[in-house]
Amino acid sequence: MSTKAPRQDLPRSDDVKIRLRITCPHCWSNFATEDVHWLTEHELLRGDPMLGPDAQQRFLPTRFDVAGNAIDSSGMTCQSLACPKCHLTLPRVMIDMAPVFVSILGIPSCGKSYFLSSMTWQMRRTLPHYFAIDFSDADPASNEILNQYERQQFLNADSRAIVKLDKTEEQGYWYDAVRYGDQIVNYPRPFLFGLRPLFGHPSFENRSDVSRVLCMYDNAGESFQPGKDTSANPVTRHLARSQAMLFLFDPTQDHRFRAACVGRSSDPQMTSTRAQVYRQDTVLHEAASRVRKYTGLKHDERHNRPLIVVVTKYDAWEPLLPGLLDTPPFLPQKSGAAHALDWERVRETSAKLRHLLWQHSPELVSGAEAFAQEVVYVPVSATGCAPVTNEQGAIEGMRTGDIQPKWVEVPMLVVLARWSKGLIPYNRRT
The pLDDT value recorded for residue 120 is 98
Q: Which residues contact 353 (CB under 8 A, 6 or more apart)?
A: 311, 321, 324, 377, 378, 379
Residues 81 and 199 in one domain: no
Chunked mean pLDDT (size 10), the chain, 430 residues: 44 63 96 97 96 97 93 96 98 94 92 95 97 96 94 94 81 84 92 96 92 92 72 81 96 95 92 83 92 92 96 97 96 82 97 98 98 98 92 85 97 94 80
Of the residues 94, 127, 162, the one at which a domain ends: 94
Please state, in angstroms and rounded to a whole number, the distance separating the CA atoms of residues 317 and 65: 59
The pLDDT value recorded for residue 16 is 54
Please state, in angstroms and rounded to a whole number, the distance separating the CA atoms of residues 383 and 315: 8
Domain extent at residue 254: 97-427
The pLDDT value recorded for residue 170 is 58
The pLDDT value recorded for residue 408 is 98
The pLDDT value recorded for residue 6 is 44
The pLDDT value recorded for residue 2 is 38
Report the candidate in 361, 320, 325 with the shortest Cα–Cα distance to residue 345.
325
Of the residues 94, 119, 143, the one at which a domain ends: 94
Indicate whether 293 belongs to any domain. yes
Q: Judge contact between 202 and 425, C-beta under 8 A.
A: yes
Please state, in angstroms and rounded to a whole number, the distance separating the CA atoms of residues 388 and 397: 6
The pLDDT value recorded for residue 277 is 86
Indicate whether 6 belongs to any domain. no
Residues 202 and 169 in one domain: yes
Instruction: Give the count of domains, the chain.
Output: 2
- The 3-class SS string of 330-363 reads EEECCCCCCEEEEHHHHHHHHHHHHHHHHHHCHH
Report the candidate in 101, 153, 103, 144 with the shortest Cα–Cα distance to residue 382.
153
Please state, in angstroms and rounded to a whole number, the distance separating the CA atoms of residues 278 and 249: 10
Residues 63 and 103 in one domain: no
Q: Which residues contact 248 (CB under 8 A, 6 or more apart)?
A: 104, 105, 106, 107, 110, 111, 112, 115, 310, 312
Residues 53 and 147 in one domain: no
Strand 426-427 with 339-342, pairing = parallel
The length of the chain in residues reads: 430
Strand 307-311 with 244-249, pairing = parallel
Please state, in angstroms and rounded to a whole number, the distance separating the CA atoms of residues 20 and 35: 10
Residues 53 and 163 in one domain: no
CATH assignment of the domain containing 334: 3.40.50.300
Indicate whether 190 belongs to any domain. yes
The pLDDT value recorded for residue 169 is 63
Residues 52 and 111 in one domain: no
Residues 64 and 191 in one domain: no
Residues 82 and 178 in one domain: no
Residues 43 and 154 in one domain: no
Of the residues 94, 116, 135, the one at which a domain ends: 94
